[in-house]
Structures are given as structure tokens and as C-alpha cells.
Amino acid sequence: MTRALFIVDVQNDFTEHGALGVAGGDAVAERISAYLAAHADDYEIIVASRDWHDGDNDNGGHFATGTPDFVDTWPVHCVGGTFGAEYDEGFDTTSVTAHLKKGQGKPAYSLFEGVGDDGATAAGLLDEHGIVAIDIVGLATDYCVRASALDALAAGRAVRVFTDLVAGVHPDSSAAALTEIAAAGAGVTRSDA
């Protein structure tokens, strides 16, 4: 197998009960778990990322000191070690083979910016396991899924984004992100297609 599954930021702060909750986030977490139950063996590696921000600073301007603009500055979210930074309870992580934390003092959107507690990186894992194709799911379509998909394409891999296993902040920006991802060369399809 030379295919990886990237699961982006399925965390409490990005689902309905969180600081930056995405409508449908809990349902996406459950659908990803169901997909994993049926398809985990289709993948050489399964990588999950989490935003993991510092709680004692603005994380390089990522946390707004005044009113957030929701483009470059955001409300406090996914502070490492808090409930908000943990995986959503509907996401069964049993089959995840690598966990990456992104942010940690600076802005970060792409899973490729994450680092494992053991120092692992997405780029290193792809090379180590001979990965040529990546399927991408998670939250949020218009931000971290978008950034992760574009970085995966830039890394020279074949990429698919499963539209039934993502949810976005806003319908218009999510649709625009999927259009951009497709125009860049990724497949944009359903997981059951």
C-alpha cells in the first residue's frame, strides 16, 4: 500500500461545542470513525492532526488581542492540554498511526505544519512509507483542510478530498475551497464514490 489518510483537526473546539464550532462537525467525526472501521486497512499510514496552541501568549498573532478578523486572527482555541484541543469524542482514534500537533506558538493551518511528540513530520512520514497518494478528511474545509490538501499536492502526491467527511466554517468559502483544491489537481469526491 502506498496510500495515506490525513485526518485534519477533528477537535472539540472545531465541533459544535467548541470555541470555533463548525456546523456538522460532530457528524463528520462520527462518519470518519465509521469510514475508518470499514477502510483503515486500505491505508499504509493514518495521520491525525490537532491545533495545539500555547495558552500564555497570542501564538504569533494567531489569537486576537482585540476583535478577531476570522482571517488571520481568531478567538482563543485549541489550547494544548484543554478539552478544546482534544479529539472530538465521536472520532475513534484507534487506527491512527501518527498524531501531529500544529501551532505550538505560531499560526498553523496545514497538517504539514504539525510535529509529533517523537519529532515526526508529515513530509517525513510520507517519504518513510513510500506514500504516493493521500486522502484528506476533517475540519474545516475552508481553512485547514484546504491548506493541507494544497500542501499535499505541492508535495507531489495524488490527492483526494472526501466531501462527505469534511465540514466548513461557511458554505460559500467551503465551496470555493473545494473548487480551488480541484483546480489545483486534487480529486474532490465522496468517500463512497
Q: Which residues contact 68 (CB under 8 A, 6 or more apart)?
A: 74, 75
Q: Which residues contact 116 (CB under 8 A, 6 or more apart)?
A: 98, 99, 100, 101
Cα 124 to Cα 43, 100, 104, 131, 163, distances in angstroms: 16, 12, 19, 10, 27
- Give this prediction's pTM: 0.97
Q: In what order do the strands lie in the sheet with 187-189?
A: 98-103, 45-52, 3-8, 133-139, 158-167, 187-189
- Topology of 11-131+141-189 in CATH? Rossmann fold (3.40.50)
* Selected catalytic residue, list 51, 88, 101, 144: 144
CA distance 146 to 127: 22
> What pLDDT, in 10s, does the model give residues 167-180?
999 999 999 999 99
> What pLDDT, in 10s, does the model give residues 145-158?
999 999 999 999 99
pLDDT band at residue 24 under the 50/70/90 scheme: very high
Q: Is 100 exposed, middle or buried (0-12, 13-18, 19+ CB in 10 A)?
A: buried
Say yes or no to pLDDT of 1 above 80: no
Q: What integer pLDDT is reported at residue 17 of this predicted model? A: 83
| 7-27: average pLDDT | 96
Say yes or no to pLDDT of 135 above 80: yes
| 100-114: average pLDDT | 97
Q: What integer pLDDT is reported at residue 188 of this predicted model? A: 98
Output the CA torsion sign for 39, 45, 51, 54. Answer: positive
Q: What integer pLDDT is reported at residue 193 of this predicted model? A: 87
Count of CA atoms in the C-beta half-sphere (13 A) of 34: 10
> What pLDDT, in 10s, does the model give residues 52-77?
999 999 999 999 999 999 989 999 99
Look up 9 and say whether it is catalytic: yes
* Selected catalytic residue, list 9, 13, 51, 88: 9
pLDDT: which is higher, 51 or 1? 51
Look up 144 and say whether it is catalytic: yes
CA distance 44 to 59: 33
* Selected catalytic residue, list 51, 102, 142, 151: 102
Q: What integer pLDDT is reported at residue 36 of this predicted model? A: 98
